[in-house]
Amino acid sequence: AAMAPRIPSTRLALHHFDTSYSLHLGALWPSVRAGLLCEQKYGALLNNFAAADHVPQELELLNATDFISEAPQKAQQWQQGAAAGEAARGCQGRTVMQAEMMTQAKTSPLLSASVSSKIKCYTFPRGDITRFRPARLDALGLLDYYLMDAASLLPVLALNVQPDDFVLDLCAAPGGKTLALLQTGFCGHLAANDVSVSRTKRLYQILHSYVPKEVRDTVSVTSYDGRDWDQVKGGTFHKVLVDVPCTTDRHSAMEEDNNIFHKSRTKERQMLPMLQLQLLMAGILAAKPGGEVVYSTCSLSPLQNECVVE
């Protein structure tokens, strides 16, 4: 056993993805695979609490743009292009998927949320691998922006927080989505929970680096097992974000450290859909009648997404 060749966890992950995702995504998989293996591009989430009015102009001079404010315009252009294509091909050429995508583009809560929200996140254009400078402190000692995967903002936008909403971030650490929720300026109270005490410490650090004390006082940070949340405070939240632990596909394909495809974590990986289901049920029970719950992962796996929701 000591002399047997050790297969890297990243290779095991990629083999798993090639086997399962190629069936799920078909012809799309090669380009998605290339995207997973590319160096990660970050977005710069502006900190509305910092005195940094110059930052948008600075980023725009570097050719970065706020992808959230551009989203409605791009969606409208896409809809017009799709409509023109439909007219050219005739309605009989439309597939069910095309029809569903057009309907989602017209009614997506992401678009309405992006218009009403104060969230701004700058990204560089496709093909531009410019790196953002490190965040800087303002006169109040708050950092001017937070670097994160821009796609991580989509669950926050989908939650569509309204003024004075009580919001629960059930699996909050390390804290990027929690910070984004606060950027809306709408949270009447925000409960940020994560079962990991060490990751919760990172969440505290982010709050202290980006958020003034009077706003931090509206946030309660806890380290309960999210599956038991309904026993703590059930049926009290207008909006609940359930961003569950998952295979974290990019990390699994790129990083050996803390990789869930390590052979010692096989059972943990196999049990993920059950854990995700339990967390989603707890999130539903935490919501008020008529409240809204967003379930999200950073995995392409249908077992961790559609199957859990179904």
Instruction: Say if residues 11 and 255 touch (Cβ distance below 8 Å).
Output: no
Q: What pLDDT sits at residue 181?
A: 97
Query: Does the annotation list 253 as a binding residue?
Result: no
Q: Is 171 annotated for ligand binding? A: yes
Pairing of strands 145-148, 43-46: antiparallel
Give the pLDDT confidence score for residue 234 in this predicted structure: 80
pLDDT of residue 91: 42
Q: Which DSSP category does 59 fall into?
A: H
Radius of gyration of the chain from its Cα atoms, rounded to whole angstroms? 21
DSSP annotation of 260 reads T
CB 140 within 8 A of CB 212: yes
Please, which pLDDT band fits residue 126 given cuts at 50, 70 and 90? confident
Which of 57, 44, 217 has the alpha carbon at shortest distance from 143? 44
- Compute CA distances 46 → 22, 64, 123, whole Å: 37, 13, 11
pLDDT for the residue numbered 79: 67
Residue 221 has pLDDT above 90, yes or no: yes
Token pair for residue 284? 């539903």
Among candidate residues 121, 246, 298, 307, the one labeled active-site is: 298
Mean pLDDT over 252-264 rounds to 94
Q: Which residue has the tokens 């929701």?
A: 309
Q: What percent of the chain has pLDDT over 90?
A: 75
The answer to whether 290 is a known ligand-binding residue is no
pLDDT at residue 117 in the model: 62
At which residue do the structure tokens 């909050």 appear?
Answer: 172
Please state, in angstroms and as integers, the Cα–Cα distance from residue 186 to each residue in 164, 171, 195, 212, following that order: 6, 20, 25, 15
**Is there a binding annotation on residue 286?**
no
What are the structural domains of the chain? 38-78+117-308 (3.40.50.150)
Which pLDDT belongs to residue 233? 79
Counting Cβ atoms within 10 Å, is residue 227 exposed (0-12), middle (13-18) or buried (19+)? middle
Mean pLDDT computed over 276-299? 96
Sheet holding 145-148, edge to edge: 65-66, 121-123, 43-46, 145-148
Residue 96 confidence (pLDDT): 35
Beta-carbon-side half-sphere exposure of residue 295 (alpha carbons within 13 Å): 20
Mean pLDDT (whole number) for 241-249: 97
**Beta strand 121-123 pairing with 65-66:** antiparallel
Lowest mean pLDDT among 76-80, 242-246, 256-260: 76-80
208: number of Cβ within 10 Å: 13
pLDDT classification of 107: cutoffs 50, 70, 90 = very low
Question: Does the annotation place 164 within a ligand binding site?
Answer: no
CA neighbor of 126 nearest in space, from 189, 38, 246, 224: 38
Strand-pair partners of 169? 192, 241
Structure tokens belonging to residue 5: 């060749």
pLDDT at 92: 42
- Please check if 225 is assigned to a binding site: yes
- Please determine, for residue 122, whether its predicted confidence score (pLDDT) is greater than 90: yes
| Residue 169 among known ligand-binding residues | no
Q: Is 298 a catalytic residue?
A: yes
pLDDT value, residue 24:
93
Q: 10 with 252: CB under 8 angstroms?
A: yes
Average pLDDT for 29-45: 93
Binding residue per annotation — 93?
A: no
* The pLDDT of residue 112 is above 80: no
Q: How far is it, in rounded angstroms, from Cα 231 to Cα 135?
A: 39
The pair of structure tokens assigned to 143 is 């950092």
127 is in an annotated binding site: no
Ligand-binding annotation for 174, yes or no, is yes
Collapsed DSSP state (helix, strand, coil) of residue 165? strand
Supply the pTM of this predicted model: 0.86
Predicted pLDDT of residue 273: 98
Query: From CA 242, how far away is CA 258, in angstroms rounded?
Result: 22
Which range, 6-10, 125-129, 143-147, is most confident? Answer: 143-147
Categorize the per-residue pLDDT at 5 as very low, low, confident or very high, splitting at 50, 70 and 90.
low
Q: What is the C-alpha end-to-end distance of the chain, expressed in Å?
A: 42
Model pLDDT, residue 90: 47
The torsion region of residue 215 among left (phi > 0), alpha (psi -120 to 50) and beta comes to: alpha
